[in-house]
Structure 1
């Protein structure tokens, strides 16, 4: 009988079986430990020719009906006259005198696994295991070495795997149930919509061929199910071992959950985890993962395996609510618990950050870029700005100055470091002169040195004084972490970055600005085997392929809308200019255009503006002139509850018209689904250009040099993307019908018209409000009546 195959990394095996005690992610683990890779490289380089670094080791261990594939990378293998040495490097902030042979059972266990595999593969009977501890403050190292014979290593491995067998059996049983369900899984709808089969086939081929696919697929095709279904099928054929469904917003995560629910209704067995940010899921009023402050952190590792067993036996759906329920039941940290569940989940639904952000990506999966994963990137147009944000970092003078004032009485040496940083930034402010800003192509090397010195000096004091309630401690911690983040991003600085220094009064902000995220996104995608980027608005497709890290050999498809275009009335009012310099002259005209548009049929309308200022000016005039109309306006910072209230007003049974005012690119211009008569019209004021700013001009200059399309890359393409997203709120299903009115003279210009999707080709222009109302009357007479 063929033995069941199970693959597990040595690190995950050791941690799963042997972990115990508290979560204690105080400063040490989240601060200088970011430099672990550099420390490894430093020690490996110092070790000379006899040292072979980063050696991949794997071994198929046959036991009790299973073939368990153990794999991992030994930090180093040293060839000495006395024999072979397996080296495991660990960085620590603890003084080395506190570290002895009994310091960490897990460190020894990991190194002993590597030693056993090396002995078996090289047919040797004894070997040395060495732990090298590097003290990150003093840069001293301590080496602890033990000799082992293969027999005792074999006994250790056997005990370890015997303890793991309960997990192996559980994993194998699940794999059989899941894979069997995938084989018989049918598409969860009676028939494919127009374009849906084409997308599903393209996604399947992309995953099977380890490629990238860029998809523009208008609303209604069903992008989520059309990418998840083929990914699940590829999973069942063992081509991938995990699906990551990546989103920018909570609401799109719910769409993915619903797609899996549909597939479960027709027989799929599949574990899905929705990963929630630590700040949102934490049970405490303040995120402080240390056992002195958090009862869930205290003893977490003593209880977490029981919690894992419980949730895996009883559920295959791990939403935020279910994770919280089991975390409360077993008194474990919900975020760390969710991360553990992710190792057992077949699909992880999460934010872009967990794959792409260099500061927070899931290192348990992506450290070696060897995972057989697929990335499904939803609403991929959002990834451009998010990537620039993820790959950039900023520090401000005021924060360091305030921290310096507080530290004078507590630690003069740290205060001096902060003062030097403050002085450096004052110098930068002077260099900015009258313009108030400066753009450098070179890195701020002197600032790096000062920040590195501050980080080194601050760290020991912070470790010793945590939880003492010292005045100014939190401020120091904040600038410490901002310095760490800044230095981390500096590692990626290349020709795609600029150093942007900006002043405002006495304030100075220094930003490492990633102008072009394409290279870093392309490298991040290599953490998996394949990726599908999809959105209703990847227009133009070539621009998005380039900026999202695509290449000429990658696949792309541009699908047509599945809906009857006659059900959308697209009109362009091109006699008004909404350019910034002309806006004051447009207010009253816009008021009358809105009134003319909503007068023809009772229903709910959304009017989108390029800025809050513009919106509020028109809103004030509109409500003053037409107080009898029901109106509502988007606020600049709305809570979840306020958003729900806003959306709840869109009811199909409203007796009179409701006109809601919102902002292009805001929370109500994408990701909301107002089907049927909940929304019958969208009026888009302006072409959505980002506000003119120094940063946008930096982007424009960069791309003008790169491809001669600076204005398009910095302003036109992002602006039209917002327009297309807002207009896409109207027709959400095959039975919907409604109006999209575009108001701006530029909508009739050829360069903007070229960005209109295929299902807008039937649109027409109107020159005045009388013509507008005539066209609307004709449309609504065909589609069920006039007011």
Structure 2
């Protein structure tokens, strides 16, 4: 055989028979775990001789391809000489609405199992039963048919014939890809200092199926140093796929450029970039249903043709390319990108497609994960992003509105909304004059009320209220997320209630995301966490789910301290001292720009502080071209801001920006595009209730809570902002750090070695 194709039964059946439209506006709360529970409930009632979860496998030759089809049959039922394949499906649809031919893919799946069984046991006939179970009531509906071996063989071979063009395309691509990888050299004339060390550490980690934490300086070329060895590992059959995960659009573009460079050097590889739904939606509304969108209507009838077309003709499937083919085939560009992610060799996307329980790519089977590496870029960002992904909040006001809206229309839904509203009122009374209440244990009564609300809301939405009541749909999704997070709740969480005037907000807050980050990544063969600022390493390894057995690589900076002129101004920028700090800060910045004309970025801990300094700056520096980062800038505005920094600017240019914002990391202003950086403050997050909860949690388990909640995250922003300056061996520039805390031992220890040769400004 020319190629061997392994395919699960379900994937084969759905590829051939899945039809219809995308309906993502409302999905039932039935999760995979709930579906598994329902399967077990049905299987418990099998007779003694019956079997459940039976592994079946067969081989079929077609067009010089060998297909190995495998899967687990839900049930094998035996009655005298009769054998029945039982295919169990849980559903939230009313059973009376389900007909025998409602879903051909369900029959196709069961027919595959029937054929496998008959072939293995050399029998001629079998019965196939579809068992639909209503997930709320537990009621069942059965459909049964009898098949001969010849009928099933024709059915399965027909599916294989339909799947074969895609299978051949993938197999032939894989052969070309692996041959090209073997010939591929590092795409630059030479390795920069530190690149070979990082690339070697990445390859070894993948080879051994381990986890690596790599601190590699800004400017050495981390992207190519992680992607290149990962591609080499694909060619050596260590892995079959890689995910390049990042938090920002700019770093996604850097990854695309790295693959593009290797493709120009002869690499045959397919990359897919997943762009957020709200950015690529052709209608701009994000409503995925046949009523609202022509690209959702009939999506599954056209998607196979669209996938084959783009894979035959393109290698870099970025946003522009995907949109072009999506329009051609009239398919949703976002869902198209998700479908392509399963076919690609490399996927470039946000962290949430792997780590977020709301979003993650559900069709990645464990077998595929075992042959996949995760490259987590700017991994320091995953700590707070992880907290957000694993937290959930509820507010009182939607339940009050739903109580009023459904009081007459749906008594049950109106009543449960009232009970939830009453629960929030009771919490407000319990709080008295306090604005917050903390709970270590989960709120079981609230969780039960939410479960009841979900049940009644689901029934109403299935009746079509999703179109009538946007509030019900939105609240359903919020409640669904609350339920999802409550299933993860443990000692690393806390629940708190926040009293805000007439409203009450309750949050399940993830204090420590490390365990859940580790759980989300553990099925993959290898995990590479890398950043220029995994410092201190112990903190980041701890917060990203690492342990003492993981590899650590600390790449020294290839840049000399002579390239950077570092100055520290010992001035308090604490909140109480900010007003009197403004004039000295403006004088320092003015002197810097007038004495050393060029392009500068000035970073501030908040927009409020930025605007206070900007007002004073504008009075005495009207001759300096000044641009300012605004809140909520779109992509075009961000691009315009960065394009202002040109190497041939006439006179000086100053950009005012915030620490931790879009311009403080992930941007590359090489050479004279940037001549200096000023950082005001030490970047500490604003003192607040949640940060104090984090501090208390880590203090209670023996860590330095204040450092974990404030100092380490804050100084990371400083290091990232300063890292914008030196991007190559030829760059030079000035960094001014304005805060007296930079002279304290704790903060000194967190500065890069190249910054420690500083002079004091008075």
The reply on whether 1:518 has 2:517 as its aligned counterpart is no
What is aligned with 1:560? 556
Secondary structure in 2 aligned to 1:434?
Answer: coil
Q: Report the counterpart of residue 202 of structure 1 in structure 2.
A: 201
Aligned partner of 1:695 in structure 2 is 690
Of 479, 484, 496 in structure 1, the residue corresponding to residue 480 of structure 2 is: 484
Structure 1 residues 193-342: aligned runs within 5 Å: 193-342=192-341
User: Using a 3 Å threshold, how does the CA distance of structure 1 residues 82 and 99 change in structure 2: closer, same or farther?
Assistant: farther
Tell me the residue number matched to 2:596.
601
Q: Does the C-alpha gap of structure 1 residues 639 and 524 become closer, same or farther in structure 2, counting only changes over 3 Å?
A: same
Aligned: 1:760 with 2:759: no
Question: What is the Cα deviation at residue 503 of structure 1?
Answer: 1.1
Deviation at 1:612, TM superposition (A): 1.3
Provide the residue aligned with 1:741 in structure 2.
736
Partners of 2:703 and 2:396 in 1: CA distance? 36
1:242-641 matched pairs, under 5 angstroms: 242-366=241-365, 370-466=369-465, 470=468, 473-573=469-569, 575-641=570-636
Deviations 1:702-751 (A, max 9, x none): 11122322111111100010000000111112221111111111111111
Confirm or deny: 8 A CA contact 2:394 2:507 kept in the other structure: yes
Q: 1:498, 1:377 → 2: CA distance?
A: 27
Distance 1:519 1:467 in 2: 36
> Which string of whole-angstrom CA distances, capped at 9 and with x for unpartnered residues, describes residues 364-422 of structure 1?
11467854111111111111111111111111112222232333353343222111111
Question: Which stretches in structure 2 are left out of the alignment for 5+ residues?
Answer: none
C-alpha distance in 1 between matches for 2:242 and 2:121: 36
CA distance in 1, matches of 2:122, 2:222: 53
Once residues 757 and 624 of structure 1 are traced to their aligned partners in structure 2, the CA distance between those partners, rounded to angstroms, is 35
- Indicate yes or no: 2:179 matched with 1:180: yes
Residue of 656, 679, 684 corresponding to 2:679: 684
Cα-to-partner distance string for 1:637-688 (whole Å, 9 max, x where unaligned): 2222222222222122222222221111011111111111111111111110
C-alpha distance in 1 between matches for 2:362 and 2:117: 25
Q: Distance in 1 between matches of 2:433 and 2:52?
A: 53
Distance 2:52 2:749 in 1: 54
- Structure 1 residue 467 displacement after superposition: 7.0
- Partner of 2:375: helix, strand, or coil? strand
| Equivalent residues of 1:403, 1:479 under 8 A apart | no
1:783 maps to none
Distance 1:55 1:539, change over 3 A: farther
CA separation of 1:119 and 1:751: change in aligned 2, threshold 3 A: farther
Structure 1 CA distance for aligned equivalents of residues 312 and 320 of structure 2? 17
Give distance in 2, aligned partners of 1:54 and 1:602.
73
- How far off its partner does 1:128 sit? 4.3
Structure 1 CA distance for aligned equivalents of residues 139 and 453 of structure 2: 19
> Would the aligned equivalents of 1:128 and 1:146 in 2 still touch at CA under 8 Å?
yes
Query: Are positions 1:39 and 2:35 aligned together?
Result: yes
CA pair 609-157 structure 1, distance change in 2 beyond 3 A: same
Question: Residues 642 and 19 from structure 1, CA distance in 2 versus in 1: closer, same or farther, beyond 3 angstroms?
Answer: same
Q: How many angstroms apart in 1 are the aligned matches of 2:395 and 2:137?
A: 29
Q: Answer whether contact 2:178 2:235 (CA < 8 A) is retained.
A: yes
**Is residue 393–residue 485 contact of structure 1 (8 Å, CA) maintained in 2?**
yes
Structure 1 residues 690 and 146: alpha-carbon distance in aligned structure 2, compared to 1, 3 A threshold: same
Give the match's secondary structure for 2:343.
Answer: coil
1:477 CA drift (Å)? 1.4
Note if contact 2:466-2:473 (Cα within 8 Å) is conserved in structure 1: no
Contact residue 181 and residue 232 of structure 2 kept, 8 A: yes
1:82 deviates by 5.9
2:655 corresponds in structure 1 to: 660
Query: SS of the residue aligned with 1:435?
Result: coil
SS at match of 1:683: strand
C-alpha contact (below 8 Å) 1:560/1:758 kept by paired residues: no
SS at match of 2:344: coil
Report what 1:17 is aligned to. Answer: 16
With normalisation by structure 2, the TM-score equals 0.95
For the 8 Å contact 1:245–1:347, the answer to whether it is kept is yes
Residues paired across the two proteins, number: 759
Q: Deviations over 1:435-461 (max 9, x none)?
A: 211111111111111111112112222
| 3-state SS of 2:7 partner | strand
CA displacement, residues 596-650 of structure 1 (integer Å, 9 cap, x when unaligned)? 2222211111111111111111111121233333222222222222222222221
Conserved 8 A contact 2:3-2:66: yes
Aligned CA distance change for structure 1 residues 198 and 636 (closer, same or farther; 3 Å): same
Q: Secondary structure at the match of 1:245?
A: strand
Distance change in 2, residues 1:3/1:364 (3 Å): same
Structure 1 pair 19–384 and aligned structure 2 pair: CA distance change class (3 A):
same
Q: In structure 1, how many angstroms separate the alpha carbons of the residues matched to 2:42 and 2:106?
A: 22
**CA offset at residue 433 of structure 1?**
2.6
Alpha-carbon distance, 1:689 to partner: 0.5
Secondary structure of the structure 2 residue equivalent to 1:47: helix
Q: 1:674 and 1:12 mapped to 2: Cα distance?
A: 46
Q: How has the CA–CA distance of structure 1 residues 73 and 610 changed in structure 2, closer, same or farther, with 3 Å as cutoff?
A: farther
The 10-residue stretch of structure 1 (127-136 or 257-266) with the greater mean CA deviation from structure 2: 127-136
d(CA) in 1 for partners of 2:346 and 2:51?
A: 36
CA–CA separation in structure 1 for the residues paired with 2:211 and 2:75: 34
In structure 1, stretches of 5+ residues that fail to align are 769-787
3-state DSSP class of the match of 1:569? strand
Q: What does residue 645 of structure 1 align with?
A: 640
Verify the 8 A CA contact 2:8 2:69 in the aligned structure 1: yes
Q: Is the 8 A contact 2:38 2:133 kept in 1?
A: no
Q: Alpha-carbon deviations, 1:81-128, whole Å to 9, x = none?
A: 666554332222322123233222100111222333345556666554
Would you say the 8 A contact 2:681–2:738 is kept in 1? yes
Higher mean C-alpha deviation, range 77-86 or range 607-616: 77-86
Residue matched to 1:781: none
Distance in 2, matches of 1:184 and 1:395, equals 55
Residues 466 and 472 in structure 2, CA contact (< 8 A), matched pair in contact too: no
Distance in 2 between residues matched to 1:466 and 1:305, nearest whole Å = 32
Contact kept, 8 Å, 1:248 with 1:379, in 2: the verdict is yes
Contact 2:131 2:142 in 1 (8 A): yes
CA distance in 2, matches of 1:598, 1:463: 64
Mapped to 2, the partners of 1:69 and 1:498 lie a distance apart of: 48
Q: What is the DSSP-based 3-state SS (H/G/I as helix, E as strand, rest coil) of the residue aligned with 1:656?
A: coil
Aligned partners of 1:40 and 1:89 also within 8 Å: no
SS across alignment from 1:457: helix
More displaced stretch, 17-26 vs 677-686: 17-26
In the superposition, relative to structure 1, how do residues 63 and 670 fare at CA in structure 2: closer, same or farther (>3 Å)? same
Q: Which moved more, 1:296-305 or 1:364-373?
A: 364-373
**In 2, Cα distance between the equivalents of 1:26 and 1:602?**
54
| 1:369 and 1:526 in contact (8 A); partners too | no
1:549-580 C-alpha deviation (Å, 9 max, x unpaired): 1111111101111223311112222x211122
SS of equivalent residue, structure 1 residue 192: coil
Take 2:591 and 2:8, find their aligned partners in 1: how far apart are those partners? 65
CA contact (8 A) 2:211 2:550 kept: yes
* C-alpha contact 2:435 2:499 (8 A) present in aligned 1: yes
